[in-house]
Chain A
Amino acid sequence: MVEAEVKEADAGTKSGESLGSGRIEYVSYKDERQLPDIMALIDQELSEPYSIFTYRYFITLWPDLCFLALHEGKCIGTIVCKMEQHRNTFRGYIAMLVVVKQHRGKGVATELVTRCVQVMHDAGCDEVTMEAEVTNLGALTLYGNLGFIRAKRLHRYYLNGVDAYRLKLLFPRPPDTNSLFLEGGYNMESYQVHDCSKLDHHHGHNPHDHQHCGGHDHGHSHASQYHMYS
Chain B
Amino acid sequence: MDAAVPAGDQTIWLDASSFLSSVCNELSVGELVHGENFRLFEAMSALEIMDPKMDAGMATTGFKTFEEAIESGAAPIELTIPQLVDVFDHILACEATWQNGHALAQTVFSCLYLLNVDRTAPNALLHAFCKTTRASCSMIRTAIALADIHEEEDFITMAYGLPVEGEGDSRCLALLNTVEEVVARQLRGCKGGLSTKKKSLEDAEPLQDDPALEEGYCHAILCRLRFRKALYHILTYMDKPQGRGLEMARKHILVALSELQNIRSSSAFLSFGQAPDSVVESKERGSTASGRVAIGFDECVNRRLLAPTPPRSISILSWEDTLAYFEKLLQDLDRICSLPMTLGLEEILQFVMDYQKLKPDLFARARLQLLLLHDGKLLGRDPLAIALVKVFNVPQSVMANDHQTQAFTTQAARVTKQLLKIMCTNTAWQRRKLGRILQDWGNLLQQSKVTRDVSIEGSQLGDEVIQTENMLTAWVAEQTCWVVRQFLMLGFQLDLYSLSEFCMVYWYLDHVLLSALHYKLAKESQTTPAIDSPDSVKKKGKKKKGSAALKQPKTPKDGKFMYSVHLLQCYSDLCKGFIWMLTALTRDRKLLHRETIFNTEQERFFQRFDLLHKLMIPAPMSYFHYKDSTSQMHISVKELYQLSYDHFMAVQQHLQELGASAAKASELSAVSRTQLALEVKQMEQVSLRNRVALQIVHQVGPGDNLRVSFEFSQHPCFPVAVVKKS
Contacts and interface: CB of A to CB of B under 8 A. Distances in A.
Interface string A155-195: 11001110101001111100000001111001000010110
A57 to B, nearest CB: 4
A181 B496 contact: no
A147 B30 contact: no
Given A147-B597, A151-B496, A202-B597, A52 B428 contact: no
A181 B310 contact: no
Given A32-B30, A54-B46, A208-B594, A181 B624 contact: yes
B496 A153 contact: yes
B46 to A, nearest CB: 4
Given A134-B495, A151-B496, A145 B596 contact: yes
Contacts of B495: 134, 150, 153
Contacts of B46: 51, 53-54
Interface stretch (B16-24, B36-44, B221-229, B280-288): B36-44
B624 A171 contact: no
A146 B594 CA distance: 10
Interface residues of B, number: 60
Interface string B97-140: 00001000000000000000000000000000000000000000
A57 B429 CA distance: 30
Contacts of A206: 597
Contacts of A154: 152, 428
A50 B309 CA distance: 11
B188 interface: no
Contact of A150 (B51, B152, B497, B613): B497
Given A49-B54, A225-B310, A229-B307, A155 B604 contact: no
Interface string A206-230: 1010001000000000010110111
A147 B602 CA distance: 11
Contacts of A147: 596-600, 603-604
B154 A172 contact: no
A33 interface: yes
Of the candidates B30, B599, B631, the one having the most CB atoms from chain A within 10 angstroms of its own CB is: B599
A161 B100 CA distance: 10
A31 B29 contact: yes
B47 A191 contact: no
B623 A168 contact: no
Nearest to B151: A230
Contacts of A153: 427-428, 431, 494-496
B569 to A, nearest CB: 29
Interface string B284-326: 0000000000000000000000011110100000000000000
B29 A32 contact: yes
Of the candidates A52, A53, A208, the one having the most CB atoms from chain B within 10 angstroms of its own CB is: A53
B603 A171 contact: yes
Interface in A1-44: 31-33
B598 A199 contact: yes
A196 B599 CA distance: 7
Given A181-B622, A229-B309, A146 B597 contact: yes
The A contact surface, by secondary structure, is mixed
A205 interface: no
Interface string B26-60: 00011010000011111111111001011000000
Contacts of B51: 49
A122 B497 CA distance: 28
A126 to B, nearest CB: 10
A170 to B, nearest CB: 4
A79 interface: no
B32 A56 contact: yes
Nearest to A154: B428
Contacts of B39: 57
Given A134-B495, A170-B604, A228-B41, A183 B597 contact: no
Nearest to A163: B428
Contact of A51 (B47, B154, B432, B628): B47
Contact of B602 (A150, A172, A225): A172
A175 to B, nearest CB: 11
A149 B29 contact: no
Contact of A156 (B101, B602, B622): B101
Interface in A46-102: 48-54, 56-57, 60
Contact of B598 (A52, A171, A228, A229): A171
Given A53-B46, A57-B43, A60-B32, A169 B622 contact: no
Given A31-B30, A152-B496, A226 B309 contact: yes
Given A149-B604, A169-B599, A155 B429 contact: yes
B321 to A, nearest CB: 14
B153 interface: yes
Nearest to B499: A144
Interface in B623-643: 623-625, 627-628, 631
B587 to A, nearest CB: 13
Interface in A98-141: 114, 117, 121, 134
Contacts of A156: 101, 152-154
Interface in B358-384: none
A128 B627 CA distance: 26
Contact of A53 (B42, B594, B623): B42
A32 B30 CA distance: 6
Of the candidates B153, B595, B600, the one having the most CB atoms from chain A within 10 angstroms of its own CB is: B600
A223 B40 CA distance: 12
Contacts of A230: 309
A146 B154 CA distance: 32
Contacts of B710: none
Nearest to A191: B627
B431 A183 contact: no
Contacts of A212: 594
B10 interface: no
A161 B101 contact: yes
A144 B307 contact: no
Interface string B468-497: 000000000000000000000000001111
A122 B12 CA distance: 55
Contacts of B606: 170, 181
Contacts of B152: 154-156
B48 A208 contact: no
B652 interface: no
Given A151-B496, A226-B154, A226-B309, A180 B603 contact: no
B379 to A, nearest CB: 28
Given A146-B596, A199-B597, A229-B308, A152 B44 contact: no
Contacts of B312: 159-160, 226
B598 A117 contact: yes
Contacts of A193: 600, 602
Of the candidates B54, B603, B631, the one having the most CB atoms from chain A within 10 angstroms of its own CB is: B603
Nearest to B42: A53
A145 B51 CA distance: 38
Interface of B: 29-30, 32, 38-48, 51, 53-54, 101, 152-154, 307-310, 312, 426-429, 431-432, 494-498, 501, 594-600, 602-604, 606-608, 613, 620, 622-625, 627-628, 631
Given A147-B598, A154-B152, 13 more contacts: A49-B310, A56-B32, A134-B495, A145-B596, A156-B152, A165-B496, A168-B607, A171-B598, A172-B603, A181-B622, A199-B597, A208-B597, A229-B44
25 contacts: A31-B29, A31-B30, A49-B51, A51-B47, A53-B42, A57-B40, A145-B596, A146-B596, A147-B599, A149-B498, A149-B604, A149-B608, A152-B431, A153-B427, A153-B428, A156-B152, A159-B310, A160-B312, A170-B603, A172-B599, A180-B613, A186-B624, A191-B627, A228-B40, A229-B307
7 tightest Cβ-Cβ pairs between the two chains A and B? A147-B596, A57-B43, A228-B44, A153-B428, A49-B53, A53-B43, A170-B603
Interface of A: 31-33, 48-54, 56-57, 60, 114, 117, 121, 134, 144-147, 149-156, 159-161, 163, 165, 168-172, 180-183, 186, 191, 193-194, 196, 199, 202, 206, 208, 212, 223, 225-226, 228-230
